[in-house]
Amino acid sequence: MAVAENTIWERFLFPVLGLLIDQEGLRHYGESVDWDKESDRFRRDDVVIPAYYSSQDFHGISGGYLNYNAAITYDPITQYVTPPNETWVRQELIDAIQVKPRRILDLGCGTASTTLMLKQAFPQAEVIGLDLSPYMLVRAAHKAESAGLGIKFIHGQAEATGLSANNFDLVTASLLFHEIPVSISQTILQESLRLLRVGGQLLVLDGNQRALRQLEFLNDIFVEPYIREYGAGSVDTEMGVAGFRAVHTKDVWWVHQLTSGIKAISGLDVTNHSNIRQYEPTAQEDLQIFPSPAFDSKA
Ligand SMILES: C[S@@+](CC[C@H](N)C(=O)[O-])C[C@H]1O[C@@H](n2cnc3c(N)ncnc32)[C@H](O)[C@@H]1O
């Protein structure tokens, strides 16, 4: 795997993670998949791959998400770079759901770690994961299949999904916004508003923008071309500007943040909307049934 040079990631973190990761298991999984054939199942010729995306390196891995190495290594790396525990962090998004969703869309779903938890929390709901990388979708589909969860995966751009308007009760985006230009996040917020029904909820889980501003060195740890731009902005403000109501951001384990917004008819008091309810948080011991979204080499 080609790794960008002379970064903190390349010099310190990647060698350490290399020792923790089951490299043999990854190699075995990588070789067991016909990536060209399987990614062709998802690849759509009409999906435009924007320059901001194809030029991006993911956590220092050259080539970004448009290669199968990214799909293979994403989960093993992410479990170590989502403190204090990847499942707890993702569970905060699930616990913040205030609607009774019949249709859920997870934008930039990647290998579907959050998507799987959404389907597990709402088994009756139709859950769709959308991503620009057909390779990430291959890995996502393997994980869903191995977990026995029926999830539909679509190759597409989060900012221009081509999906019908007013058709989702819940739209989510986890760990997506720090990887894209702010102008694209703003377009994704507008697209999410278009996709949601009135009373529907948008949840954006990502790095804590205040922490990124306060601790400059965090921006240098990973090779993320848009992280400074992301840290300087405010998802909370942008959600309000896009037209969401009841916008609220909370810190998640200090290094992450979760922003929620509701699509409301202007002037409607969304707190009294009949579709909105308080989700019962999952007891920590229940998380054992889904111990980690991380890579399972036996999958
Ligand atoms: C850091 S990963 C996050 C994956 C997953 N949501 C998670 O929580 O682990 C970012 C994902 O967003 C996808 N992505 C980036 N820009 C996108 C866009 N404009 N539209 C759709 N997917 C995008 C990438 O291909 C990648 O899979």
Q: Locate 28 and state its tokens.
A: 């075995």
The H or E element that residue 165 is part of is none
CA 188 to chain centre: 13
| Residue ID of nearest Cα to ligand 1 atom 4 | 110
109 lines ligand 1 (CB under 6 A): yes
**38-67: burial string, b at 16+ Cβ within 10 Å, e else:** bbeebeeeeeeeeeebeebbbbbbeebbbb
CA 138 to chain centre: 15
In the chain, alpha helices (H): 8, 14-20, 23-32, 35-40, 51-54, 68-78, 86-95, 113-121, 134-147, 182-195, 209-214, 217-221, 227-232, 235-242
233 lines ligand 1 (CB under 6 A): no
71 lines ligand 1 (CB under 6 A): no
Rounded distance from Cα 197 to ligand 1 centre (Å): 23
157 vs 274, which has greater pLDDT?
Answer: 157
117 lines ligand 1 (CB under 6 A): no
265 vs 289, which has greater pLDDT?
Answer: 265
Least reliable range by pLDDT among 154-158, 183-187, 196-200, 262-266: 262-266
The H or E element that residue 250 is part of is strand 245-252
The whole model's pTM is what?
Answer: 0.86
Residue 269: CB atoms within 10 Å: 9
What confidence tier does 21 reach under pLDDT thresholds 50, 70, 90? confident
Domains and CATH numbers, the chain: 1-299 (3.40.50.150)
157 lines ligand 1 (CB under 6 A): yes
| Residue ID of nearest Cα to ligand 1 atom 15 | 108
